[in-house]
A and B are shown apart, each in its own frame.
Chain A
Amino acid sequence: MKPAGPDWPALYANHRQSMYRVAARVLREAGLEGQAGDAVQDAMISLMKSPPTDVVSWEAVLVVAAKRRAVDFLRSALVRHAGPELGERHDYADERNEIGEAEDAMDRQAQSARAWDALSILDPRHRMVAQEYVAKGRPRAEIASELGVSPARVSQIAAKAIEQLRLELMREETK
């Protein structure tokens, strides 16, 4: 009655955030971050069809699978756009070991979470600009209109917010 392999839904529920983030980060290079969900789904289907054996860390397996599938998407998009010649930096997925890739990705997740948590030190106005303009990437003019300031002022607020975050993160590191 019990499955011989891993409990895929449970694994996915635990690691889908990491999978989406790593895929979005790769795909952003071509403005394809909206396809992160497709890359993640393809990665899961591939893993379920051919489950890896002797797994040390399932998180590593899932994150690397999502990243590699995103790289595949990126390659396809770049080939369609510019022909078959791709830069060396797009070949890294096959060259580095899986654990190393996963550690990098998970370290990145942790840094990202710390940066997000640090938003709490900002006042509401600076936090709003950091979230809506820097993180979500909404148009500057739109946010300027909402706040009743000039677009240049939005950039100043964003820069000051990020500078405060930088100092806060540096403080945390030295603790």
Chain B
Amino acid sequence: MTKHERSMLLNELVEALASPAVSDAVSGKAAVEDSHIEQIVEIAELLWEAEHGAPPLEDDPTALMLGLVPDPGVAIDPRALNRLRKNAGLTVSQLAERLVSRGWDVTGPQVFRWQTQGAFDLSPALLRAIAEELGSPTDRILSTPTVDARPKWLTDITNSPAFEQLVQRWAQLKGIPTQLATTALESRMLATVHRGSRPEETQLLQSLDAFISALENGGEEAP
């Protein structure tokens, strides 16, 4: 909706409000005062703003960039988590508190569930935070899925030497393990495909290359 269309909408609202059919039925007043109109416009604006929040995580490029989109192909290893937590001298509650102090919305019962049942719904960023609190490389708290549910085009790309080089560059740039770098770049490609028709594999790799190069060179432009 353009600014002009928005103005028209607000005018229509005010006109409709001024009509006896609406004003009599609601407020019992035929006349609409300026302050009343301002309040009406303000509420319309507030509703518009409420509707224009962030998109779902998987459609949010910044969330993808930061590793906030869970990858169902990456799971936490319950036994490794339990062992590393004990080695770190932390209780379940203490680990949860440490994550909360970093800003994560985590509870003790959740941590308990992770180490009894595992979890496939944790984002790469949260997995990294857990590992950091345990003083462990992230790779050590991850389990490898037995079935690769990824689409073939994705596995073809991720098995290519070009993708491997991109992963190494991304891992170095962000200071993260290669497994998480792989996940982040895969998520990025999946989001690209999710938003439109799937480009050629070469195009996807070139797009990733351009994105990483921009950040390596200190550029601030969004990819």
Within 8 A of A (CB), among B87-120: 102-105
Asked if residues B47 and A8 are in contact (CB atoms below 8 Å), the reply is no
Q: Known contacts A13-B103, A167-B26: does B53 contact A137 (CB below 8 Å)?
A: no
CB < 8 Å neighbour of A108 from B49, B218, B221: B49
Size category of the B interface is 35 or more
Contact with B along A95-133 (1 / 0, CB 8 A): 000000000000010011111100100000000001101
Q: How many A-B residue pairs have CB under 8 A?
A: 177
Query: Nearest chain B CB to A40's CB is how many angstroms away?
Result: 6
Q: Known contacts A10-B104, A37-B62: does B44 contact A24 (CB below 8 Å)?
A: no
Asked if residues B123 and A9 are in contact (CB atoms below 8 Å), the reply is yes
Asked if residues A112 and B103 are in contact (CB atoms below 8 Å), the reply is no
Asked if residues A20 and B39 are in contact (CB atoms below 8 Å), the reply is no
Tell yes or no: B43 within 8 A of A by CB.
Answer: yes
Count contacts on A: residues with CB < 8 A to the other chain: 64
State the CA gap A142–B182 with chains docked (Å).
44
Tell yes or no: B31 within 8 A of A by CB.
Answer: no
Asked if residues A9 and B66 are in contact (CB atoms below 8 Å), the reply is yes
Q: Which residue in chain B gives the minimum CB-CB distance to A11? A: B103
Asked if residues B6 and A28 are in contact (CB atoms below 8 Å), the reply is yes
Tell yes or no: B34 within 8 A of A by CB.
Answer: no
Tell yes or no: B50 within 8 A of A by CB.
Answer: yes
Tell me whether chain A's interface is mostly helix, strand or loop, or mixed.
helix
Asked if residues B65 and A41 are in contact (CB atoms below 8 Å), the reply is yes
Asked if residues B220 and A46 are in contact (CB atoms below 8 Å), the reply is yes
CB < 8 Å neighbour of B132 from A2, A33, A159, A162: A2
Asked if residues B66 and A8 are in contact (CB atoms below 8 Å), the reply is yes
CB < 8 Å neighbour of A156 from B16, B39, B47: B16
Contact with A along B1-36 (1 / 0, CB 8 A): 111011001001111110101110111000000001
Tell yes or no: A90 within 8 A of B by CB.
Answer: no
CB < 8 Å neighbour of A21 from B16, B53, B55: B53
**22 A/B residue pairs, CB under 8 Å, sorted by A:** A1-B135, A7-B125, A9-B68, A9-B123, A11-B103, A12-B66, A14-B103, A20-B53, A21-B49, A38-B222, A42-B220, A44-B65, A45-B215, A45-B220, A108-B46, A130-B47, A133-B9, A134-B44, A140-B9, A155-B12, A156-B21, A160-B25
19 additional A-B pairs beyond A111-B46, A112-B49, A133-B9, beta carbons within 8 Å, are A7-B103, A9-B67, A12-B62, A13-B68, A13-B125, A14-B103, A21-B52, A28-B52, A42-B222, A49-B218, A112-B50, A113-B50, A116-B46, A134-B44, A137-B6, A156-B21, A159-B22, A160-B16, A163-B22
